[in-house]
Amino acid sequence: MAGNIELLSSVLATARAEGRAALVGYLPAGFPTVDDGVRAITAMVEGGCDVVEVGLPHSDPVLDGPVIQTADDIALRGGVRIVDVIRTVREAHAATGAPVLCMTYWNPVDAYGVERFAADLAEAGGAGCILPDLPVEESEVWRKAAEQHGLATVFVVAPSSRDERLAKITAAGSGFVYAASLMGVTGTRASVGLEAEELVRRTRAVTELPVCVGLGVSNARQAEEVARFADGVIVGSAFVKRLLDAPDLETGLAGVRALAGELAAGVAGRA
């Protein structure tokens, strides 16, 4: 089975044709458990997420803030393995029909086997991989495997990236570009700021790929603000927090679905 990069591109293009940004939701696999994580992802899509990122829990997630680190710890203590991450992608895609990407640091992919990981992710219906710590200069082996299996390779750009660096990174990527809205780790913030808008402008100057902004968006107002200049709005910590703060799973799932609905109204300019 080929990967779902075409589905990803189609969903992003449809959002653009509708005059809105796409809503991209993130949850780590195995949180709260593998089965409940699939239910939470399904609730996110039911609420209004267009695209889903499934995180591969890592013991030292350098890009992720304390909320996602807490969820990763719960997943790792629960014994989550790469096969569970692949299963989450498969079941989430089957349940929702949405494009599902895996967001992972490079080391687990390298240890699992690059070709094997790409093949398994594509077979599960995955749309691609977001690799925040893989330098583009060292990415050829992965990119060849991804291309062979119809997977997108999404690289992360940051406000510190110079224009020539942006051109190099975006030329190697596919699917979309992940624009980190500010320097630092993921998490909710009071303001997403002007740095993100400037980064999107600079990135669009060197690529035709859609540019999706992550790191810091947590409510409908911020989603609407970012949607004015980005092709997609990525939200992770706010979804995780709804599950962490809920007194029980059903309340958490209802919270996730409601937040997705609020954010979807935001990216459509109806916050």
Query: Active-site positions?
Result: 53, 64
Separation of alpha carbons 77 and 65, rounded Å:
18
DSSP assignment of 22-34 equals: EEEEEEETTSS-H
H or E element at residue 152: strand 152-154
How many angstroms separate the Cα of 152 from the Cα of each of 80, 128, 172? 24, 4, 10
Do residues 51 and 24 make contact, with C-beta atoms less than 8 angstroms apart? yes
The secondary structure of 120-140, three-state, reads: HHHHCCCCEEECCCCCHHHCH
β-pairing, 51-55 vs 100-103, is parallel
What phi and psi values does residue 74 have, to the nearest 5 degrees? Answer: -60, -45
How many angstroms separate the Cα of 141 from the Cα of each of 64, 85, 144, 168, 220? 25, 21, 5, 17, 39
Where do we find the tokens 């989430």? 92
Residue 215 in tokens: 């790191």
